A and B are shown apart, each in its own frame.
Chain A
Amino acid sequence: MRRILTGLAAAAMLAAGTAQAQNYPDQAITLVVPYGPGGASDLAGRALAETAREHIGQPVTVLNKPGAGGMTGAAFVSNAEPDGYTLLLARVGMALTPAVNPQSTVDWDAYTFLGELEASPMILAVKAGAPYDSVGDLVAAIEQNEGTMTYAASGATAIDGFTVQALLSDSGMDPLTAATLVPYKGGGALATALLGGHVDFLAISAGSLMPHIESGDMTPLMVFAPQRMDKLPEVPTAAELGYEQAGQITGWSALYGPKNLPEDVTAKWEEVLAKVADNETWLTLAERRGSISTVGQKNMAEYAKQQYELFHGLAQKFGYIQ
């Protein structure tokens, strides 16, 4: 009798297990955005949550977990139960931080890669009326001023610090001393620093700069992206201008989950992301925040590895790690 009962219980559990797996998702999904509300990553996360909800049949709630350059939120997801109910809106920082900081709390591959979402170009800009018409002019001025020119960035080893340092390194200067870094928090504060003339130049995400470029208060000199931006057809990319390292840097977002997500969860999201790729709302929202939707265009695991290796190499070259 006991054996039968145990058998029954086991069978029931198995059945429940499969039933649960087939039913994914049967409750709300939490999408963790590892940065504060209102920024480019938050908007991307909320746009994904809104569009994915229609296709996955459950609410997707956005949870902002900022701190430690995005690593607080990343660690939260990486350590979460791999059941598909806690996912991460990953940014380029998830590959960059472990590459430049060996003590980083989460490695670049401590996730299940569900797919790429968007490329968000970065723009090198100066204040309107500044005496530089091209990147060449700016680089020459930086060289002449021997380190006294200033640029705003989130931090030395943040993506918007690396854009400038890669450019300096490509131009044959010491990336750490050729210009002075002035740290600011968030796209709004960074843009204000240039607008107020408190720094000389910056190279940050397009979303924070486009309004000021369109109003004529800033001059774009170069774009960090695989191709030119539709909105700025006459501004060259870093690769076009022959900047080898700078040409490889761009911003991106992707959808990650904790390592070892069950197959039905990854399959479900593959299906959902395929639908998101042509979703009107998703595409218009992406365009409005200055991004290019790249859903389903790349093998994310491979791309994340490439990105990690790129930044690891740069960090070694710049002298951040041995």
Chain B
Amino acid sequence: MLNDILLALQAVATIENFLIMAAGIWGGVVIGAIPGMTGTMAVTLALPFTFYMQPVPSILLLVALYKGSTYGGSVSAILIKTPGTASAACTALDGYPLARQGKAGKALNMALYSSVIGDFFSNISLIFLAAPLAILALRVGPPEYFMLMVFALTTVAGVSGNSLLLGLVSACLGLLLATVGEDMYGSFRFAMTNEMQAGLAVAPVLIGLFALPELIKLIVFRNPPKTEPMKLGDNRVSGREIRASLKSILRGSTIGVVLGAIPGIGPASAAFFSYGEAQRTSKTPANFGKGELEGIAASESANNGACGATMIPLLALGVPGDVITGVMLGAFMIQGLTPGPLLFQTNMHEIYMLFIGMMVSSVLLFGAGKITMRAFSYVAEIPPTLLTSVVLLLCLFGIYSISNSMFDVTVLLALGVLGFAMFLLDIPAAPFLIAFILGPMIEENMRRALAISRGDASVFLSSPITWIFAALILFVIGITFRREVAKARQRKADRA
């Protein structure tokens, strides 16, 4: 075994492989940081290149792009409140306020540390826990999936800000918008034009809701938001701050790994889940959404934790969990390798090479993050009026380039106006986005579960996994209700 590992190390430790991974990671970080450009796009664009590469380097390139772009999404989320990918949406909630307080460097560093730790965790789990996690993942059928997603939706209570009621309104709007298009049985809902038949894509909704309202505010109110200049010396994350967030980072990494291993859940849901948990268990939940480092830590450790873990069902079972691992499966097949249990018997050499490469890529992620951060942190010093126009341009082109569709651009602009209206009414945007992303998964799995049980609702409490989540959901609802009652009493007491 040790001999095999050394052989693999020898095969994988070449300058070429190192350059391929470095280019992949860095390219991923930059693409992820540009609003509108996503990891899926990066991986898809790189696929044809892999036709001419050796099997292991080609997979490593795709993995590097995926990891890089998942981290990169946090850079623009923090600096310009434009999450490059959906999984960085919760990072924006705390990262942007920090950037406004002149602590952009601190926020970026925290995002990088938690991403790298999450990434490292998911590599370790992939190497040592792939088989048991894969078996667990297969157990998750439609009813379990439904309960898990409903639980993730309870994060809404945490990101609602001042008013739970307005948060719920926002979430309902998000769920409603998620129903646009063709449903799973082929009927159309709210499909007023041909384009609407395909539903609304995540990227334009995400960017429209988060980035555009900021730009509109600048135009309407005419006074650029006061941004403190970056303070020297306040860019570092102190040891004390790391220790304070360590619990959230470790929990986020675990959440990321477990949810990432279940096909179809992906980094965005893992990040929401982790953020909700961090806030729920925090001693100062009110600080979340106003610039709490722990929020960034929770969100970023979970999304990168999920990233490597999506390789678990791919390698161990041969099933891709999302579009990106779907593309990777394609790359494996093109190379004549078939992911699945057989791969661990027939191609152990390649597996070892892949594992070693992935460990190295964690280190590269740290380096690439540090370099990119320095380059991007000057963004905070660009005058807002100038920055606004560039960001708007990037958003428009980025969204158009995803599927060459003007409809996506229309969605982007419409959601921007909606987001601004929601800001005026004090309705928070985060619950909207979370509901929009989780909505289809909740609906589809509910209908699948009911199809299998032929309409018998007891299917939702038919296995131990569903019991656990049912208990958790009740627990969270109970706690939220108690907190709301306490708040109402407080207000009454204040008035008296």
Question: Which listed residue, A157, A180, A189, touches B186 by the CB 8 Å rule?
Answer: A157
What residues of chain A lie closer than 8 Å to B138, measured between beta carbons?
192, 195-197
Q: How far is the CA of A219 from the CA of B496 in the complex (A)?
A: 73
Tell whether A199 is near chain B: CB-to-CB under 8 Å. Answer: yes
Question: Which listed residue, A65, A189, A196, A211, touches B318 by the CB 8 Å rule?
Answer: A211
Tell whether A42 is near chain B: CB-to-CB under 8 Å. Answer: yes
What residues of chain A lie closer than 8 Å to B244, measured between beta carbons?
none
- Name B339-368 residues within 8 Å CB distance of A: 339-342
Given A38-B320, A192-B319, A217-B341, also A72-B451 (CB < 8 A): no
Number of interface residues of A (CB under 8 A): 55
Contact B185 A155 (CB under 8 A): yes
Q: Which of B78-86, B217-225, B329-337 contacts A (4 or more CB under 8 A)?
A: B329-337
What is the interface of chain B mostly: helix, strand, loop, or mixed? Answer: helix
- Name A178-199 residues within 8 Å CB distance of B: 180-186, 188-189, 191-192, 195-199
Contact B44 A214 (CB under 8 A): no
Contact A46 B186 (CB under 8 A): no
Question: Which listed residue, A43, A155, A180, touches B184 by the CB 8 Å rule?
Answer: A155
Q: How far is the CA of A215 from the CA of B208 in the complex (A)?
A: 45
Contact A50 B51 (CB under 8 A): yes
Tell whether A39 is near chain B: CB-to-CB under 8 Å. Answer: yes
Contact B318 A46 (CB under 8 A): no
Given A36-B323, A37-B327, A195-B138, also A156-B185 (CB < 8 A): yes
What residues of chain B lie closer than 8 Å to A42, measured between beta carbons?
327, 330
Closest B residue, CB atoms, query A61: B48
Q: How far is the CA of A38 from the CA of B323 in the complex (A)?
A: 7
Contact A212 B340 (CB under 8 A): yes
Given A36-B323, A37-B323, A65-B403, also A215-B199 (CB < 8 A): no
What residues of chain B lie closer than 8 Å to A184, measured between beta carbons?
448
Contact A155 B318 (CB under 8 A): no
Contact B140 A196 (CB under 8 A): yes
- Name B33-67 residues within 8 Å CB distance of A: 40, 43-44, 47-48, 51
Contact A38 B186 (CB under 8 A): no
Q: How far is the CA of A199 from the CA of B141 in the complex (A)?
A: 10
Closest B residue, CB atoms, query A59: B48
Q: How far is the CA of A8 from the CA of B261 in the complex (A)?
A: 69
Given A150-B452, A198-B141, also A188-B333 (CB < 8 A): no
Closest A residue, CB atoms, query B194: A105
Closest B residue, CB atoms, query A40: B330
Tell whether B384 is near chain A: CB-to-CB under 8 Å. Answer: no
Tell whether A148 is near chain B: CB-to-CB under 8 Å. Answer: yes
Tell whether B247 is near chain A: CB-to-CB under 8 Å. Answer: no
Known: A147-B454, A155-B184. 15 other contacts (CB 8 A): A38-B323, A68-B182, A68-B197, A72-B198, A148-B454, A182-B451, A195-B319, A196-B138, A196-B141, A198-B142, A198-B452, A210-B338, A211-B339, A212-B318, A214-B342
